Amino acid sequence: MIVSGWYLSTRHSISYRVPGPARRTAQRKAEAEVRMVEHLLSALYGLRIDNLVIETNAMEMPVGDGSALNFVEPFMRAGIREMDAAPRRVAVKRPVAVVEQDILMVAMPGGEGLTLTHVLDYGKHFLRAQSLTLSMDRDTYIREIVPARTYVLRPEVDAFVQTGLGKGATPENTIVLEEDGSLSAAPRFEDECVRHKLLDLVGDLSLCGGRLSARVIGYKSGHGTNVQLAKAIRNASTDESVQSESGERNRSDAGG
């Protein structure tokens, strides 16, 4: 099974979906499907890697420590080579929104680059509301987003076991949030949960098929609404296959 990087995947008829329960994103072509691709896609987008081929015989990407470190660190060690081709761009020209009950996702014109805001709010349970806004340049992504680990709510744990999900989850790579606000592991950031939401959002939005120029705001969103927004942006936006004013080029994993 061959799964191409985020730039190539969306240009070569590979569909993407959120299997139920909606805690992960999958890519499919014909009968081949690979799940839990969001951390890998996030790493590729965050590092500005546009062109590579990944080969796998597994149905899921490795979870590592629950963050994007298990992808980012090998890519950084291998080295990233700039190519002559200009990166493909997707620019949001008018507001695009996805609404599901009390969940809101909106993308607005935002100039050059991608700025993300996420608001995490479970009401009176699990943890206090968290919000974070970051501009997704490469250094900020590596420093502020990459180490943030995935998490689950305590009531979700039994449901995952019953459905056969989360077999690779351990106390080291998955934070469990208790209803009283306590965590099963010491956090890497005071607001690690909302940072991981941004990590997932970067990966899901990469399915737009290019480097996104937009301001994106999510309220209580997850993979399902993230992917819906990515599809809506692709349908509504104009993509520009031109070199940026800064002379930025495509970047490729050099391997080795």
Active site residues: 223
The DSSP code for 125 is S
Q: Which amino acid is located at 181 in the chain?
A: G
CA 142, distance to chain mean position in Å, is 13
Task: Produce one character per residue of 210-225: b if its CB has 16 or more CB atoms within 10 Å, e if not.
Answer: bbbbbbbbbbbbbbbb
List CB contacts of 171: < 8 A, sequence separation 6 or more: 184, 185
> CA-to-CA distance for 150 and 136, rounded, in angstroms?
19
> CA-to-CA distance for 93 and 238, rounded, in angstroms?
7
Which residues, in sequence order, are bridge partners of residue 100? 103
